[in-house]
Amino acid sequence: MPTSDEEAVLRVPAGEPVFDLKRIAFASDGRPVEYARGTYRGSYFLWSYRFKVPE
């Protein structure tokens, strides 16, 4: 559930959940090269990811 600050900034109605998405991207040698964090209204977003899995 959102914090009071997130409710205010995102204009989230009472009782609406949010997504807290955290992602780390790694280089082929295992070094982290990107970190991203976002908070999104649950009723506004849908994610779909496709990953090619190395053999």
Contact between 24 and 37 under an 8 Å Cβ cutoff? The reply is: no
- Please answer whether residues 27 and 33 qualify as being in contact, where contact means their C-beta atoms are separated by less than 8 angstroms: yes
pLDDT at 15: 87
- State residue 18's pLDDT score: 93
Phi, psi dihedrals of residue 13, rounded to the nearest 5°: -65, 155
CA torsion sign, 37 to 43 to 44 to 49? positive
Residue-wise pLDDT tens digits, 8-36: 998 998 889 999 989 999 999 999 999 99
User: Is residue 23 a contact partner of residue 35, using CB atoms and an 8 Å limit?
Assistant: yes
Mean pLDDT of 28-48: 91
